[in-house]
Amino acid sequence: MNITWKSMKDLYVSGESCYAGKWWVGDVYFDGMRRAETAPYTATCLLPGARRKAVGFSTAEDAKEFLTNVVRHWFAQADQE
């Protein structure tokens, strides 16, 4: 599974989008609306059956690692019957 990260190009968002091959599967971004200054990063997953949003990561790398693991697990389970 080829997982790549691309910088998000939006006016009010600072983060990266996650792609599994050519499919957009989620985002990791700095959530300025959260009051948790020690854990301001959020990961969102667009895959069906996966938790939509996970909050409370202290670094973008932690959030990216979490989302990468979710995506790999989702595709591993999709291959099983």
Model's pTM, two decimal places? 0.86
pLDDT attached to residue 51: 85
Q: Which element (helix H / strand E) includes 68?
A: helix 60-78
Residue 72 reports pLDDT greater than 90: yes
pLDDT at 20: 95
Question: What are the pLDDT digits (tens) for 1-50?
Answer: 799 999 987 777 789 999 999 999 999 998 877 666 778 899 999 999 88
Q: For residue 76, what is the enclosing H or E element?
A: helix 60-78
pLDDT band at residue 69, thresholds of 50, 70 and 90? very high
CA–CA separation, 49 and 30 (whole Å): 24
Range of the domain at 15: 3-78
Say how many domains are in the chain: 1
